[in-house]
Amino acid sequence: MNNNEEKKIENNEEKKIENKEEYQYLNLLKEILERGYLENTRNGITKSIFGYSMRFSLKDNVIPILTTKKVAWKIALKELLWFIRGETNNKILKEQGVHIWDANGSREFLDSVGLVSYPEDVLGTIYGHQWRYFNGDYDINNGKVLENGNKGIDQLQKIIDALKEPKQRTSRRLVMSAWNPCQLNQMALPPCHVLCQFNVHDGNKLSCMMVQRSVDTPVGSPINIASYSLLTHLLAKHCGLEAYEFIYFMGNCHIYQDHIESAKLQIQREPYLFPTLKIKEIRENINDYQVEDFEIYNYQHHAQIKFQMIA
């Protein structure tokens, strides 16, 4: 073995030590592939296991955007800001070049789930509605909360108000739920990430715990990790705190049959260090943040792996 080969092995070992956190995700893919059960589900054959958890540090502005494939973090950010503003009309995302929800907003899909009166791209009382107008009246014609109706509960703003108040920020009740049984039949797709809880310790360190009932592990999970980590960093910045940790609890973790070979490719790759995030300014209102306010530094990643999203 020559010196270059020895150095390469040494560097690879350093990467494993330095970014153990991404191996949590790669080990999940491996576990599903090796011991997952084959299931014939609503929208295709999957291999799945039930129950898994991961922890990602957010200290020192680190943002866990996976490196073993290129993750479209700007798409995750655009969707997150759409949620934050209480939006549910997919046309707004399409105008920004985001197509995550296209299949679920199609005429064919809406009709298939009984939402025949919904205009195309109106997704119903999904995440944004529940975050900002929980159980509020919904205007299907415009794809937003009913202007002159019951506005529901603004869960996100209540959490922001508590986080800004030193006497309230240590509350164990900083919970935001997207799962609303009263309005599930008004949603194009019931929420996959159903609940998150925020916690402050040591005076100013903000962590987020998220629970996800259904995890499309190769396709959705990298976006979910990025999205909730971005949300935690944003709330920390907005409320004068420090982002500390993202904890991720998962229920049904699955890989669609068509994605198995691509998942096998990904687990062969060695992670790089996670990048860092800078949020350039503090806006007065949480609704006012723009994509341009977020900068990612040193995002080194392997090549993109294309997975077809399954609605």
Instruction: Map out the domains of the chain with their CATH numbers.
Output: 18-84+169-297 (3.30.572.10)
Given a contact cutoff of 8 angstroms between Cβ atoms, the answer to whether 53 and 249 are in contact is yes
pLDDT given for residue 3 in this prediction: 53
pLDDT given for residue 71 in this prediction: 97
pLDDT given for residue 125 in this prediction: 98
Torsion angle, CA of 144/104/68/51, rounded to 10 degrees?
A: 90
Let me know if 84 is exposed, middle or buried by CB neighbors in 10 A (0-12, 13-18, 19+).
buried
pLDDT given for residue 174 in this prediction: 98
pLDDT given for residue 307 in this prediction: 78
| Residue of 192, 196, 208, 253 marked catalytic | 192
pLDDT given for residue 17 in this prediction: 54
Cα 268 to Cα 261: distance, rounded to the nearest angstrom: 11
- Enumerate residues 6+ apart whose C-beta is below 8 A from 62: 274, 275, 276, 277
pLDDT given for residue 18 in this prediction: 72
pLDDT given for residue 13 in this prediction: 47
pLDDT given for residue 310 in this prediction: 72
- What is the enclosing helix (H) or strand (E) of 214? strand 205-216
268: helix, strand or coil: coil
Smallest Cα–Cα separation from 304: which of 33, 75, 32?
75
Structure token digits, residue 79: 């969707």
Per-residue pLDDT of the chain (311 residues; tens, 9 = 90+): 455 544 444 444 444 457 899 999 999 999 999 999 999 988 889 999 999 999 999 999 999 999 999 999 999 999 999 999 999 999 999 999 999 999 999 999 999 999 999 999 999 999 999 999 999 999 999 999 999 999 999 999 999 999 999 999 999 999 999 999 999 999 999 999 999 999 999 999 999 999 999 999 999 999 999 999 999 999 999 999 999 999 999 999 999 999 999 999 999 999 999 999 999 999 999 999 999 999 999 999 999 998 777 76
pLDDT given for residue 145 in this prediction: 96
pLDDT given for residue 5 in this prediction: 46
C-alpha distance from residue 208 to each of 55, 59, 84, 259 (Å): 10, 13, 16, 29
- 192 in active site: yes
Prediction pTM value: 0.92
pLDDT given for residue 311 in this prediction: 66
How open is the CA angle 190-193-196, to the nearest 5 degrees?
130
